[in-house]
């Protein structure tokens, strides 16, 4: 019996009273629709109360409204578990946000004398009921999990049955007391709508969103000075905080980035056996090259003759590089008469090594500053950066038995003559400057 009153009688009474009352109030005192502002009396706590409360409760109410208006779409969305978890989490978070805000608002109402001067009994009743209602809803959501999903099969048909004037209590009769209280609370709010500040729900200030911005300017000297000082204070503090945060953040990021690179740098290469052996091999090769070069140096200090190449390997068009007694590069060619041409390969301009390829005019090129040297005379071309000829180097041909069969000192004719067959067996040597080639 009592259930029938609470879940069928009360809703209809509430709805009828609400509709008639709201229309009447809207007609009679239009400007009482919006809630009376208390921002002038107290504004700091209001921000931390009003904003979270309204944000939280609007999101929660929109959830209720969606489930009521579009139950099919709503339940099909909720079949995806992730979506359901998200909606449940969002709902609970917003309920907590609303409760925290409402708590702040209640505390504010109760502790400020200026506010109490404008607080009516209905205001207190409304906030107390609201707090209870949100708390009940939150507890229902926690104790009877996934209400967003099960409500579409129970509460929503009940509400629709009321709306279609075929009230069916069967859906709600078996509800736990906690949830029944939440439902009754909802009808009570609808009943109270026309008589309290709750009616501001219907006065949504949409035009606020696109109206031109307004600024309040206080036009008394004292107010102005106060405002300027407050702005400067706030600005300087904000600037300092912004700057400090920026510097700290940037320094932190920089330190993090640099140290992540630096630490790894000092930690050294990772041990990759293949890369390591390749590296070792390369180093060994270079060491051998260096040792070879040291060997040349020693050889040139001790020996009066150095092997350049077997005569058979000489070519008229491609010179053979060797290292002369000054440890500078030299080039050896086979001349047209069959006798070797041996000369320095160090450009007389700036000491580059000249190329070994002979061009059509019988010249080799120094690539650095484009000087062409005639390989017969060593002379550079006209107008070349190099002015002096490439130096001739003393050489000797030695046969298989170790006997010098032909030789030539720079600027002198060849001594000794050979048949081509004998030549092929010979090796080309350079001889130490200053020593007579024997």
For another protein, the binding residues (CB under 8 A) are 250, 254, 261-262, 264-270, 272, 275, 279, 282-283, 286-287, 289-290, 293, 321-323, 326-329, 345, 350-356, 366-370
| Smallest gap from residue 351 Cβ to another protein (A) | 4
| Smallest gap from residue 253 Cβ to another protein (A) | 11
SS3 318: strand
73 vs 287 by CB, closer to another protein = 287
| Smallest gap from residue 274 Cβ to another protein (A) | 11
| Smallest gap from residue 411 Cβ to another protein (A) | 22
Side-chain half-sphere CA neighbours of 303 within 13 A: 14
| Smallest gap from residue 355 Cβ to another protein (A) | 5
Any bridge partners for residue 380, and if so which?
373
230 vs 326 by CB, closer to another protein = 326
**End-to-end CA, the chain:** 140
Sign of CA dihedral 34, 69, 180, 9: positive
Any bridge partners for residue 407, and if so which?
396, 415
Is the distance from CB of 154 to CB of 147 less than 8 angstroms? no
Cα–Cα–Cα angle for 412, 415, 421, rounded to 5 degrees: 135
110 vs 327 by CB, closer to another protein = 327
115 vs 428 by CB, closer to another protein = 428
C-alpha dihedral over 326, 327, 328, 329, to 10 degrees?
A: 130
131 vs 296 by CB, closer to another protein = 296
92 vs 352 by CB, closer to another protein = 352
221 sits in which H/E element = helix 221-267
Name the E strands within 275-418. 305-310, 320-323, 329-334, 340-344, 363-366, 371-374, 395-398, 404-408
| Smallest gap from residue 300 Cβ to another protein (A) | 11
363 vs 408 by CB, closer to another protein = 363
| Smallest gap from residue 408 Cβ to another protein (A) | 23
DSSP 30: G
| Smallest gap from residue 251 Cβ to another protein (A) | 10
Is the distance from CB of 53 to CB of 102 less than 8 angstroms? yes
- Cβ-based neighbours of 57, under 8 Å, separated by 6 or more: 94, 98, 134
DSSP 207: G
374 vs 399 by CB, closer to another protein = 374
| Smallest gap from residue 386 Cβ to another protein (A) | 11
Q: How many Å apart are CA 324 and CA 194, to the nearest integer?
A: 113
95 vs 354 by CB, closer to another protein = 354
Cα–Cα–Cα angle for 211, 213, 216, rounded to 5 degrees: 130
């Amino acid at each position: 019996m009592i259930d029938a009153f609470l879940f069928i009688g009360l809703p209809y009474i509430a709805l009828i009273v609400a509709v008639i009352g709201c229309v009447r109030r809207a007609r009679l005192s239009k400007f009482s629709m919006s809630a009376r502002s208390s921002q002038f009396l107290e504004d700091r706590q209001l921000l931390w109360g009003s904003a979270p409360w309204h944000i939280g409760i609007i999101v929660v109410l929109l959830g209720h409204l969606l489930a009521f208006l579009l139950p099919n779409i709503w339940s099909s969305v909720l079949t995806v578990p992730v979506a359901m978890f998200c909606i449940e989490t969002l709902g609970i978070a917003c309920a907590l946000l609303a409760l925290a805000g409402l708590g702040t608002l209640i505390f504010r109402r109760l502790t400020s004398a200026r506010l109490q001067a404008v607080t009516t009994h209905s205001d207190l009743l409304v906030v107390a009921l609201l707090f209870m209602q949100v708390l009940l809803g939150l507890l229902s959501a926690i104790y009877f999990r996934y209400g967003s999903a099960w409500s579409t099969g129970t509460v929503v048909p009940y509400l629709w049955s009321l709306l279609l004037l075929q009230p069916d209590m069967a859906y709600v009769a078996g509800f736990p007391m906690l949830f029944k209280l939440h439902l009754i609370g909802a009808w009570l709010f609808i009943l109270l709508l026309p008589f309290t500040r709750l009616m501001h729900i219907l006065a949504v200030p949409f035009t606020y969103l696109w109206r031109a911005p307004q600024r309040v300017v206080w036009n008394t000297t004292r107010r102005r000075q106060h405002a300027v000082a407050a702005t400067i204070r706030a600005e300087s503090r904000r600037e300092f905080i912004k700057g400090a945060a920026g510097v700290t953040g940037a320094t932190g990021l920089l330190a993090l980035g640099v140290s992540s690179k630096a630490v790894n740098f000092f930690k050294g290469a990772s041990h990759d056996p293949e890369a390591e052996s390749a590296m070792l091999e390369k180093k060994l090769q270079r060491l051998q090259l260096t040792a070879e070069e040291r060997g040349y140096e020693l050889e040139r200090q001790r020996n009066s003759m150095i092997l350049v190449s077997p005569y058979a390997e000489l070519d008229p068009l491609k010179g053979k590089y060797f290292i002369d007694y000054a440890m500078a590069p030299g080039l050896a060619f086979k001349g047209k008469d069959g006798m070797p041409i041996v000369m320095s390969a160090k450009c007389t301009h700036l000491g580059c090594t000249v190329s070994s390829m002979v061009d059509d005019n019988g010249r080799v090129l120094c690539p650095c500053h484009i000087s062409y040297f005639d390989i017969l005379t060593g002379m550079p071309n006209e107008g070349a950066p190099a002015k002096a000829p490439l130096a001739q180097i003393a050489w000797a041909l030695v046969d298989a038995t170790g006997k010098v069969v032909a030789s030539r000192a720079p600027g002198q004719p060849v001594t000794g003559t050979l048949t081509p067959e004998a030549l092929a067996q010979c090796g080309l040597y350079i001889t130490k400057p200053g020593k007579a080639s024997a």
